Amino acid sequence: MTNVLRAQNESLQRRFNNLPQQGRWFKGEKEKMGIEEDDRHLNIGTIAKEIGMGEIFYGLNGLLSKLVHPTAFSMMLDLDDLTEVQLREWMFSAGQGFTEDGLKDLIAYFDSVGIDSRLLRPEGE
């Protein structure tokens, strides 16, 4: 049992050792996209309430948020350092693409049914 705990601890320690490198990569990606440190994320729950979809949002959020925030996945997989960094970069890039596509579809739908979509649009659009 001690060997299992030691191996798990070493694996977790490697995860934490990679975080500064991944943080620098993430910061660079944000800079490339023009996202400033003081930019706040949209609170989708608040938006859902404002347009009368709060109950639906909060009903699905508990399940779907696990797909967006794969914390257990990223902490429990025992990967070599390079594979882990590549996987996290791929997950970020894929998430960014899915988010952009989803927002475009949501904006188009809102526009088609007469719901104000300004809160979902990038600044200046």
For tokens 């001690």, name the residue: 2
pLDDT band at 118 (very low <50, low <70, confident <90, very high): confident
Burial environment of residue 5 by CB neighbours within 10 A (0 to 12, 13 to 18, 19 or more)? exposed
The closest alpha carbon to 119, from 37, 41, 33, belongs to: 41
Are residues 61 and 125 in contact, defined by beta-carbon separation less than 8 angstroms? no
Per-residue model confidence (pLDDT) at position 73: 60
The closest alpha carbon to 99, from 70, 68, 69, belongs to: 68
Helices (H), ranges, the chain: 2-32, 44-50, 54-68, 71-76, 81-112
pLDDT band at 7 (very low <50, low <70, confident <90, very high): low
Hey, how many other C-beta atoms are within 10 angstroms of the C-beta on 28? 10
For tokens 């594979």, name the residue: 83
Per-residue model confidence (pLDDT) at position 20: 76
Mean pLDDT throughout 27-53?
Answer: 79
Q: Tell me: the pLDDT tens digits for 59-93?
A: 777 766 765 666 666 666 667 778 877 877 887 78
